[in-house]
Amino acid sequence: MGKSAVHGLERLNDLYNRKESVAKEYRKQGKKIIGYLCYFAPPELISAAGMVPYRIMGRMDDEIIQAHNYVEPLGCPFIRNCFEQDLKGNLDFLDGRIIPHSCDTAQRLYGIWKYYKSASYNYCLNVPHKVTPWSRDFFKRELHFFKESLEKYGGVEITDEALRNAIRLYNENRAMVRELYDLRKEQPPRLSGSDMFKTLIVGMAIPPEEFNALLKEILAEVKNRPRGGEMLPRILFWGCIIDDARLFELIEESGSWIVSDDTCIGTKSYLRRIDTSHGLMEGLAKGYFEEFRCPRTDRGPDIHRFDYVLDLVREYDVQGVIGYTLSFCDPFKLDYPDMRDYLSENEIPMLLIDDDYSLSHLESIRTRVEAFIEILE
Amino acid sequence: MSHAANEMSRAVRSLETVRNSKKLLPSFFSRENAENRKVAWCMQGVPTELLEAFDLMPEWPENFGALCAARSVAPRFIAAAESEGFSSELCSYMTNTLGYCKRYCDLGTEPPESPPQGGMVHATMLLGSGYLCDPRIKWFQTIGTRYFDIPVFNSDPMSPPIDRDIDDPRMIDHHMQHLRADLKDQVAFLEKHTHKKFDVNRFREIMSISQKSIESWRRVYDLRKVKPCPMGSEDYFSCVIPQMFMLGKEEALTFFEKVYDEVKDRVDRGVGVLKDEKYRLAFYGLPPWHNLGFFNYLESLGAITVFEGAYYIGPPVDIDLDDPLEGLAERIWKNACWHHRTSAEAMPEICNPALQQGIGSKLLLRLIREYDVDGVILHRTRSCRPWSWGQVHYRTLLEKEGIPALIFESDMTDVRMWSDSKVKAQVEPFMETIAQLKYGKID
């Protein structure tokens, strides 16, 4: 967004605190802002259509009032909160809304949301649950339908060149985020987990080229930092969607470093690149479906499906895992006992924080986190 | 924890055929020839016709959950699952099974607290279905990872989102390609693990019986529009057993023919479940399996439930059985399309190889008129969000039509969430509202 007086992490904090108003500024410039609920919908396609992808986020400290009139209290509190934000007018800067069939609540809320508050563009992207050659073909066809739908809405053609360019920009985002992750392998790391998460959250709210510019600044700043800092236990954060840095700050304030994660906004999305050598859609299908390890996708009955987490634990020299599950999140809650036991077999303790996307019990969480970190020391 | 039987815990069935269902459906209730057959634990959504074709003996953990609920042993199994770290929010059909598996592994045999028939016959394979919900994608994965090292197959029928054009040939091809591949993969899995070749001719015969059964059962739906209503939910929720677990078996066809004959006879004679039918209700959601006497309680208030929003099958569809596997795929898709057209903004997942669905909002409003319903009771099942999600919206739509709707919360399996007095405290004022609207007075 033009020249800024502040740079790097200072600019990051500024953007983090006013991410919605940043999106609104793009809208004032005549850009269409397209909200998407999760990463099964590749933002590359939105970007290639000349629109600004914006990952729909909630407000953890906001009380649910209006959504109660339209949907049940039993359901993903994150998605209900996002719906609430729209009902309150806080997402009115979005021109479009894309809800992938990532989970039951998302799939079932789509129509109700559209009924009570339709955006000028609404789309539900279907996502298979099994990883098979025909499921990947199904997802690829879904991407084609999605592309057509965006073209129709925007009155534009998404050319291969535009899509290739968007994928390139996002791959540059990924490469720089990976560099930042690499810097967190140091002990002590030169970048806190909290700042890393803020970076990822801001990345979901601004266009990829702007994110590249910000990442360059952050990388330059972090690389220039002198080594040294407190030697603290190293944590991997596992779990459901979270788009508020307070929990990360609490965990680090309690005497630890979050050095890695297994989250959809973190390693699941960034520790890979979209490989277009076998075609653009093939690359997106591989990256956003086949290799995107959301627990809602069936990967067979095998404890080794969690090996990639153990790999992260080793690679980032992690001593303990803190898990975060949202109320009613079946896929994560079903994986938790297997994950906990597998980590335990490998002598990695795990603490689970179960929350209703409000962090309303922050102080009791703090007590539990402090006790957990103590056993790691 | 013990849960003493209460007033509503057992249902009194009205239809003689239903009261005799144990005798009429021996292969389901008596587990005939279990010792000679491979046993598959199956989820709803696995085509029973395929199980029949491979002569598999199915056990149905969801049904086992209902049985454990009815016998009040479910809370013990659920507690065992919770001790493993499985959240109390998770589907209680599933936690009931996970607790059972945990107990089985601890003891090395069926847990003695299992319902009277013993536990489930031990499985040689797990056949899951991603139809309906996320827990069903994960359920058998968890059993296969944690408790029993046996092969697992999950099918993945994909439902078209509500605003897709299902008449677009590309959309049809898109879904049919996936459905066919998924079914063929399922057949290949069954061939591998039963060591039997898929017999197309046998399967054609099974599909033919299945089609006739559906037609026969579906005719009963229409008879319930008659006043007084000849059949209530206490019977319906038993009749769904052959629909869910036995399509393709002669027994199921005979059973449905008998049900039809008995209900038709009642209609011909002008006999209803209630002598004095004051109110006609619809019931939406999964039933409280632990308290099916709830429907008798409603009857004691002069109210009969005339249709249900659970396990609803659309009208029979024509399919070509020349290639019966293709015919099955065609039936699944056509049935899904029927539900797609009768749904609207709130729609359950509709692509179910086992046919039955929850009903969509448009269909609910249509049936209200067709069955001349005075009110709707919606059961919000705490541990089953897919069946509960949308009920607030349904209530809004119904109230716009001047139809009172009550949402009451408990669970399909976990009796710990049930209280007769709490239910009565909600139902009684609701019935008063209906009485006032219908008769202008409190009865």
pLDDT along chain B (443 residues), means of 10: 66 95 90 80 95 95 91 93 97 96 96 85 94 92 97 95 96 97 98 98 98 96 98 96 95 98 98 97 95 97 97 92 97 93 76 82 95 98 90 95 96 90 96 95 55
Q: Chain A neighbours among B 132-151 (CB < 8 Å)? A: 133-135, 137-146
Strand, coil or helix: A315 = helix
Residue B166: CB atoms within 10 Å: 17
Shortest Cα distance, chain B CAs vs residue A129, angstroms: 6
Judging by DSSP bridges, how do beta strands B279-284 and B375-381 pair with one another? parallel
Cα(B355)–Cα(B316) distance, integer angstroms: 10
What is residue B249's three-state secondary structure?
coil
Q: Assess if residue A112 is contained within a domain.
A: yes
CA B399-B401-B404 angle, to 5 degrees, is: 40
| Segment (H or E) for B306 | strand B303-308
CB contact under 8 A, B345 and A141: no
Assess if residue A165 is contained within a domain: no
* Global model pTM greater than 0.90: yes
Give contacts of B342 with chain A, Cβ < 8 Å: none
User: Alpha-carbon distance A370 to A377, whole Å?
Assistant: 11
Q: Give the minimum alpha-carbon distance from A268 to chain B in angstroms, rounded to a whole number.
A: 19
Chain A CB contacts of B161 under 8 Å are 101, 107, 110, 124, 126
Q: How many residues are present in chain A?
A: 377
CB B129 within 8 A of CB B152: no
Nearest to B43 by CA among B116, B125, B111: B125
CB contact, 8 Å: A298 with chain B? yes
CB proximity B161 to A under 8 Å: yes
H helix runs in A56-132, sequence order: 77-87, 104-116
CA separation for the pair B405, B327 (Å, rounded): 39
- Flag whether residue A138 sits within 8 Å of chain B, measured between CB atoms: yes
Whole-number pLDDT of residue B306: 98
The domain in which residue A101 lies consists of: 31-160
Determine contact: A349 vs chain B, CB below 8 A: no
Q: How many residues does chain B have?
A: 443
d(CA A35, nearest CA chain B) in Å: 18
Rounded distance between C-alpha atoms, residue A336 and residue B291, angstroms: 32
In order of A212, A274, A280, the CA distances from A171 in angstroms are 10, 7, 13
> Encoding tokens for residue B68?
């454990």
- CB-CB contact of B67 with B89 (8 Å): no
Enumerate residues 320 to 379 of chain B having a beta carbon within 8 A of any beta carbon in chain A: 344-349
In a domain, A141, yes or no: yes
Q: Crossing angle for the helix pair B134-146 and A330-345, nearest 10 degrees? A: 20
> Is residue A226 in a domain?
no
Nearest-10 crossing angle of helices B200-223, B324-341 = 30
Structure tokens belonging to residue A272? 């890979």
For residue B201, how many other CB atoms are within 10 A of its CB? 8
Q: What crossing angle do the helices spanning A246-253 and A362-376 adopt, rounded to 10°? A: 40
Burial class (CB in 10 A: 0-12, 13-18, 19+), A63: exposed
What confidence score (pLDDT) does residue A13 get?
A: 97
**Cβ separation B141–A115 shorter than 8 A:** no
DSSP label at residue A284: H
Give the residue from B269, B263, B279 showing the smallest Cα distance to B376. B279
Q: pLDDT at position B3, please? A: 46
Minimum distance, in Å, between the CA of residue A143 and any CA atom of chain B: 12
Q: Is residue A7 part of a domain?
A: no
For an interface test with B, which of A124, A333, A336, A351 has the most B Cβ atoms less than 10 Å from its Cβ?
A333
Domain-embedded: residue A40: yes
CA–CA dist B118, A34 (Å, integer): 55
Residue A104 near residue B134 (C-beta atoms within 8 A): yes
The domain spanning residue A59 has which CATH number? 3.40.50.11890
pLDDT given at position B442: 54
ipTM, two decimals, is 0.95
The two most distant CA atoms of chain B are separated, in Å, by 67
Query: How many domains is chain A partitioned into structurally?
Result: 1
Which helix (H) or strand (E) element contains residue A326? Answer: strand A320-326
Domain assignment present for residue A63? The answer is: yes
Is residue A340 a part of any domain in this protein? no
End-to-end CA distance of chain B: 39
Q: Is A345 on the interface with B (CB under 8 A)?
A: no
Rounded-to-integer distance, Cα A189 and Cα A318, Å: 12
Spatial CB neighbours of B342, under 8 Å, sequence gap ≥ 6: B314, B359, B360, B362, B363, B366
- Given B135, B161, B392, which is nearest A334 (Cβ)? B135
Neighbours of B188 (CB within 10 A): 12
Residues paired with A323 in a beta bridge: A238, A352
Q: What angle (nearest 5°) sits at the alpha carbon of residue A146, between those of residues A143 and A147?
A: 85
Positions in chain A whose pLDDT score sits under 70: 1-4
B422 within 8 A of B378, measured Cβ to Cβ: no
Residue B32: the pLDDT is 67
Q: Give residue A367's identity as a one-letter amino acid code.
A: T
